[in-house]
Homo-oligomer: A and B are copies of this chain.
Amino acid sequence: MKNAVRKQKEKDNLRQIIMDAARELFVTKGYEAVSMRKIAERIEYSPTTIYLYFEDKVDLMTQICEQTFAKLTRNIKAINRKIADPIEALRAGMHEYVNFGLRHPSHYLLLFNTRVPEEPRIAFAESNGKIAFETLREAVKACADAHKLSSKDVDLVSQTLWTGIHGVTSLLITQNHFPFVNRKKLIANAIDTMIDGAMK
């Protein structure tokens, strides 16, 4: 009962310990393949203990995703601050989005590849997934303000670009048996094609 892992726990941080263990399992084995019992086993608590800190399995995964996507937003914001040319900032942000998705495939799939029939757990307006999109939208707005885009409809353009980068990210994660051309080349071409199309 009381061993190394458990000793590591100091008051009130069991919640983060659960999230850390769950994150690693979700990322390596995938959401469906990880059971609450397996998470509990790894941290050497009973399965029901997890329910003292999280409503259910979806809530646990959602909380983990929120942490992850807050980081994506920070990364894109940093890029937008660093690169002056709005088109190049946008391009770099799109690259970061795709690569971030490929680095966190389980999180990415849960947030963007799962049909949610019920109301989402976190009001979408406040979710970090939405905030990440908003950050992309700001980059598009900057391009529009600099008269670099053929359309004035910032929402239409940002949503179009979002569907584009989501497409590469999603297919590269899920269809790993497909004979893709060089991945980097495909990512770059997809992004460049869309930016070219939006600038015309």
Residues of A within 8 A of B (CB): 30, 105, 109, 112-117, 119-120, 124, 130, 151, 153, 155-157, 159-160, 162-168, 170-171, 173-178, 180-181, 185-186, 189-190, 192-198, 200
**CB < 8 Å neighbour of A156 from B30, B162, B166, B189:** B189
CB contacts (< 8 Å) of A194 on chain B: these are 164, 193-194, 197
Q: Is A155 within 8 A of B181, CB to CB?
A: yes
A198 to chain B, nearest CB (A): 6
Main secondary structure of the interface of A (DSSP, over half): helix
The CB with the most chain B CB atoms within 10 A, among A163, A168, A174, is that of A163
Question: Roughly how many angstroms separate A168 CA and B171 CA in the complex, as a whole number?
Answer: 12
Q: Is A193 within 8 A of B197, CB to CB?
A: yes
A106 to chain B, nearest CB (A): 8
Q: Is A115 within 8 A of B160, CB to CB?
A: no
Question: Roughly how many angstroms separate A114 CA and B120 CA in the complex, as a whole number?
Answer: 20
CB contacts (< 8 Å) of A200 on chain B: these are 196
Whether A170 contacts B113 in the complex (CB less than 8 A), given A197-B192, A198-B193, comes out as yes
Question: Roughly how many angstroms separate A105 CA and B116 CA in the complex, as a whole number?
Answer: 12
Question: Roughly how many angstroms separate A194 CA and B175 CA in the complex, as a whole number?
Answer: 21
A34 to chain B, nearest CB (A): 13
Question: Roughly how many angstroms separate A190 CA and B166 CA in the complex, as a whole number?
Answer: 12
The CB with the most chain B CB atoms within 10 A, among A105, A117, A170, is that of A170
